[in-house]
């Protein structure tokens, strides 16, 4: 009888997408299962796209060249993300030494831990700490100074692509933008409590937004009618704001549409930086980094916008002048044209490095 009841259970088929290609994040089940659908993943990457729920590590060869990892060393991947850089660094260690990983994201870090463990790396070779990378001093006190440190300051593709995280206006979702959704106010809550002047200042300081005044004014106006709680609602607010902007004579509708897209991207960037206190965290990390490095230790940092790069550049140069670093990058290292073609999200990347005296 029990067997018959089990047989009669209705079979729930996967919801298939309409059309030739999946449009929604949840429909991209092949991309979200790279182990099972390797051919599908390879096809998506070959087209110059990043598969949903996945992150392609940027400038791997350049990072390994800078860090010069030797077997037996101790290292720290300060921003674990999808774990692509971590796996390459573990390979460079050659089955010896130890690599630590840190990340504040409770959602993606659990997936990455499982992925790395599945590759055969146990506690004897790799350890994870749920932590903000500015807590590097605490980790170094516990385990000893590091021979090499990597900090990739970019938001991972799997965070951007998941509508539930609210990192992009391209798909509708809650206006969240927190790297750790368990801590602090969301972007929607931040907007609701900020004044027009504060919003304008945030847009200028965090994203160099040229239409900051108009956008801030429209946000406050729309908030008075009701809270801006979704990514699409904020995008529509920005769209309304730019209607009041006087563009140069001859500006085409397509150019105005492109301006809205760019302002939306910059606004989301500015909000993300604000919500996650990214500049404050980076300043703290750069201050603590030298003490966490062993003599001769190497540090590599990937940045993705000018504000981050300025902080890293000035900190490296200041510690170099004081003799704490024996050498630092004179110029930024950029990804190759080939890499940018394969992975368009690499375009804005800058790599800087430093070596402790």
pLDDT tens digit string along 3-49? Answer: 444 445 455 555 554 555 555 545 444 445 555 555 555 555 455 55
Two tokens, residue 28: 């991209």
Q: In this predicted structure, what is the pLDDT of residue 254? A: 92
Q: In this predicted structure, what is the pLDDT of residue 168? A: 80
Q: In this predicted structure, what is the pLDDT of residue 157? A: 67
Q: In this predicted structure, what is the pLDDT of residue 163? A: 76
Q: In this predicted structure, what is the pLDDT of residue 164? A: 75
Q: In this predicted structure, what is the pLDDT of residue 44? A: 52
Q: In this predicted structure, what is the pLDDT of residue 339? A: 86
Vertex 210 angle, CA 204 and 215, to 5°:
80
Two tokens, residue 191: 């907007």
Domain range list for the chain: 60-154+279-356, 181-275
Gyration radius of the chain over CA positions: 22
Say if residues 350 and 303 touch (Cβ distance below 8 Å). Answer: yes
pLDDT single digits (tens) 58-104: 999 999 999 999 999 999 999 988 889 999 999 999 999 999 999 98
Vertex 308 angle, CA 310 and 183, to 5°:
150
Q: How far apart are CA 90 and CA 178, in angstroms?
A: 29
The sign of the dihedral angle between the CA atoms of 343, 346, 347, 353 is negative
Q: In this predicted structure, what is the pLDDT of residue 264? A: 94
Q: In this predicted structure, what is the pLDDT of residue 306? A: 87
Please indicate, yes or no, whether the overall pTM of this predicted structure exceeds 0.75: yes
Q: In this predicted structure, what is the pLDDT of residue 30? A: 47
Q: In this predicted structure, what is the pLDDT of residue 28? A: 46
Q: In this predicted structure, what is the pLDDT of residue 4? A: 44
Say if residues 306 and 208 touch (Cβ distance below 8 Å). Answer: yes
List of E strands, the chain:
74-77, 98-103, 126-130, 146-152, 293-303, 325-328, 350-356
Report in angstroms the alpha-carbon separations of 139 from 76, 109, 273, 285, 288.
9, 18, 24, 12, 11
Q: Fold for domain 181-275?
A: DNA polymerase; domain 1 (1.10.150)
Q: How far apart are CA 85 and CA 92, in angstroms?
A: 11
Element (H, E) at 275: helix 253-275
Q: In this predicted structure, what is the pLDDT of residue 2? A: 43
Residues of the chain with pLDDT under 70: 1-55, 157-158
In this structure, what is the dihedral angle of CA atoms 328, 330, 333, 334, given to the nearest 10 degrees? Answer: 140
What does the buried/exposed string (b/e) look like for 58-81 if buried means 16 or more CB atoms within 10 Å of the residue's CB? bbeebbbebbebeeebbbbbbbbb
Q: Domain 60-154+279-356 sits in which CATH superfamily?
A: Vaccinia Virus protein VP39 (3.40.50.150)
């Amino acid at each position: 009888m029990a067997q018959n009841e089990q047989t009669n259970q209705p079979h729930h088929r996967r919801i298939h997408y309409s059309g030739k290609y999946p449009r929604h994040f949840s429909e991209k089940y092949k991309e979200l299962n790279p182990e099972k659908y390797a051919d599908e993943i390879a096809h998506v990457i070959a087209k110059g796209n990043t598969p949903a729920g996945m992150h392609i590590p940027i400038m791997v060869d350049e990072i390994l060249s800078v860090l010069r990892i030797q077997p037996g060393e101790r290292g720290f991947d300060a921003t674990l993300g999808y774990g692509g850089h971590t796996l390459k660094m573990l390979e460079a260690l050659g089955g010896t030494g130890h690599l630590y990983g840190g990340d504040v994201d409770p959602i993606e870090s659990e997936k990455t831990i499982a992925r790395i463990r599945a590759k055969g790396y146990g506690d004897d070779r790799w350890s994870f700490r749920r932590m903000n990378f500015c807590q590097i001093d605490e980790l170094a006190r516990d385990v000893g100074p590091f021979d090499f440190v990597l900090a990739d300051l970019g938001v991972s593709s799997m965070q951007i692509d998941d509508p539930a995280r609210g990192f992009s206006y391209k798909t509708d979702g809650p206006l969240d933008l927190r790297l750790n959704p368990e801590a602090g106010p969301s972007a929607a809550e931040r907007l609701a409590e900020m004044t027009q002047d504060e919003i304008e200042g945030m847009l200028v300081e965090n994203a160099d937004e040229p239409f900051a005044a108009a956008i801030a004014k429209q946000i406050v106006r729309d908030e008075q009618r009701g809270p801006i709680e979704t990514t699409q609602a904020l995008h529509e607010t920005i769209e309304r704001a730019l209607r009041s902007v006087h563009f140069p004579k001859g500006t085409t509708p397509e150019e105005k549409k492109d301006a809205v897209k760019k302002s939306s991207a910059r606004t989301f960037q500015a909000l993300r930086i604000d919500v996650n206190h990214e500049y404050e965290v980076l300043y703290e990390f750069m201050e603590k980094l030298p003490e966490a490095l062993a003599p001769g230790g190497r540090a590599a940092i990937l940045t993705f916008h000018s504000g981050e790069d300025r902080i890293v550049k000035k900190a490296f140069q200041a510690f170099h002048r004081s003799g704490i670093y024996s050498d630092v990058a004179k110029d930024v290292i950029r990804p190759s044209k080939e890499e940018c073609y394969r992975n368009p999200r690499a375009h804005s990347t800058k790599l800087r490095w430093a070596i402790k005296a």
